A and B are shown apart, each in its own frame.
Chain A
Amino acid sequence: MKLIPCPICGERAEIEFTYGGQAGLTRPADPAATTEAEWGAFLYARENPKGMHRERWRHIHGCGQFFNLTRDTVTDRFIP
């Protein structure tokens, strides 16, 4: 089982967390002004790196907080 570093609670078991997807996505300020391709990219296009991936997690069965961390998708190591 992976141990995930919660910034508040410290390292806790993976099953206490839910995954929130890629971090750092910004919703277009004016969706009506975007092209279909731009809106589609915002909704669906995600990185799929072999290596460092910036992602969102929530300690849902713990302190409840959302936070960002970096995970190495090759080794599953977390870097807070």
Chain B
Amino acid sequence: MPDALLPLGLLQRRGPLDNAAPIPGVSIAPPLRRVSLHSDLSFYAGIALPRTPLRAVVSDNTAILWLGPEEWLVLAPERDPVTYGYGSVVDVSHRQIGLEITGPNAATLLNAACPLDLALTAFPVGACTRTVFAKAQIVLWRRAEHRFHIDVARSFAAYVHAMLREAAMEFSATV
């Protein structure tokens, strides 16, 4: 009986950053429900999909990020079930890890390895895009002037985290 050997309550969730030392200004986002939409459903969970390229909409605890023509990424609390519709709706919750970059140095920290222009005029609050961070592909979303969300593939999370640590050394003599 596998259930007797591995009661679910005793299973511990593990992630690629479990043993990573903390970095000032960088925190690991809680597990999220992530949904990849690859067709124009007009709405997801009652929220109108953003029509403006490179912009996210937020409704309560759910964010919908425009990633490309007919491509969106939904970020919602993990407890929220997937809302399926007539089109490509794929639960990719465990594909990515979220990182929150906060503080007055957030944009500078990101620009250590991300070539985007992160000036508020070029990448305002609510802007989102797929881009690169060093050699890793990431999704970057500006939630506030000094608050960014990175979504990165699990397998690249340790790499991105390590690059952020290296960049953060510029702002801390003790790292």
B115 touches A63 (CB 8 A): no
Chain B hits for A64, CB < 8 A: 67-69, 71, 130
Query: Which A residue's beta carbon lies closest to that of B132?
Result: A61
Chain A hits for B132, CB < 8 A: 13, 15-16, 61
A63 touches B131 (CB 8 A): no
Chain A hits for B69, CB < 8 A: 8, 63-65
Q: For the complex, what is the distance from the CA of A13 to the CA of B134, rounded to whole Å?
A: 12
Query: Which B residue's beta carbon lies closest to that of A64?
Result: B68
Chain A hits for B108, CB < 8 A: none
Chain B residues within 8 Å of chain A by Cβ, number: 13
Chain A residues within 8 Å of chain B by Cβ, number: 12
Interface residue A62 (Cβ < 8 Å from any Cβ of B): yes
Q: For the complex, what is the distance from the CA of A65 to the CA of B68, rounded to whole Å?
A: 8
Interface residue A9 (Cβ < 8 Å from any Cβ of B): yes
Query: Which A residue's beta carbon lies closest to that of B114?
Result: A13
Closest CB in chain B relative to A61 CB, distance in Å: 5
Given A15-B115, A16-B132: A63 in contact with B137 (beta carbons within 8 A)? no
Closest CB in chain B relative to A53 CB, distance in Å: 24
Which residues of A (11-36) have their CB < 8 Å from a CB of B?
A: 12-13, 15-16
Q: For the complex, what is the distance from the CA of A64 to the CA of B67, rounded to whole Å?
A: 8
B67 touches A1 (CB 8 A): no
Chain A hits for B68, CB < 8 A: 8, 62-65
Given A1-B115, A15-B115: A61 in contact with B137 (beta carbons within 8 A)? yes
Known: A9-B54, A64-B71. 11 other contacts (CB 8 A): A1-B115, A8-B69, A9-B53, A12-B131, A16-B132, A62-B130, A62-B131, A63-B71, A63-B129, A64-B130, A65-B68
7 pairs of residues in contact across A and B, judged by CB atoms under 8 Å: A9-B53, A12-B115, A12-B116, A16-B132, A62-B68, A63-B129, A65-B69
